[in-house]
Amino acid sequence: MAAIKNRRRGPDMMVKMITAFSAFSWLIIIIAFGIVQMANPSLGTYDSVRTTILRFESGIIIAKALLFLNVLLCIWGMFINMARNKRKTDRFRISLLISCLVSLGGFIFMMVAL
């Protein structure tokens, strides 16, 4: 029985898209938590400056929306990644799972505590 020749020549569009999902999801997390930091004056210093930049209520709503959309993006990326795992050299992106859990945890924390 002859071995099947691997005809892939580097990452295709699906692999590049999964990598972009992973990078973009971490960027969304950083932006969401940055918005919370700017909107919540009790978390840091320069209270008067922070409250004029972004109101607390609108900042938290924006951060919740970003984190929820990031959870959906990560789940979509994980489904694409699982559908793509057909060869021995393919691997699952743990970064998508971790960023999904961080986003979900941040979203739940904001729903309960803020």
The answer as to whether 9 is a domain residue is no
Q: How much is the pLDDT for 57?
A: 78
Q: How much is the pLDDT for 71?
A: 94
> What is the CA angle 76-32-39, rounded to 5?
155
Q: Which domain holds residue 85?
A: 32-113
Q: How much is the pLDDT for 103?
A: 93
The answer as to whether 88 is a domain residue is yes
Amino acid at 7: R
User: What tens-digit pLDDT sequence spans the chain (114 residues)?
Assistant: 566 666 666 667 777 888 888 899 999 999 998 888 877 656 555 555 555 455 777 888 889 999 999 999 999 988 888 887 766 666 777 888 999 999 999 999 988 886
Q: How much is the pLDDT for 104?
A: 93
Kindly report the length of the chain. 114
Query: How deeply is 44 buried, as exposed, middle or buried, from its count of CB atoms within 10 A (0-12, 13-18, 19+)?
Result: exposed
The answer as to whether 23 is a domain residue is no
pTM beyond cutoff 0.85: no
Number of domains in the chain: 1
Q: How much is the pLDDT for 99?
A: 93
Q: How much is the pLDDT for 30?
A: 93
The answer as to whether 14 is a domain residue is no
Q: How much is the pLDDT for 92?
A: 77
The answer as to whether 103 is a domain residue is yes
DSSP per residue, the chain: -PPPP----S--HHHHHHHHHHHHHHHHHHHHHHHHHHH-GGGSS-HHHHHHHS-HHHHHHHHHHHHHHHHHHHHHHHHHHHHH--STT----HHHHHHHHHHHHHHHHHHHH-
The answer as to whether 10 is a domain residue is no
The answer as to whether 77 is a domain residue is yes
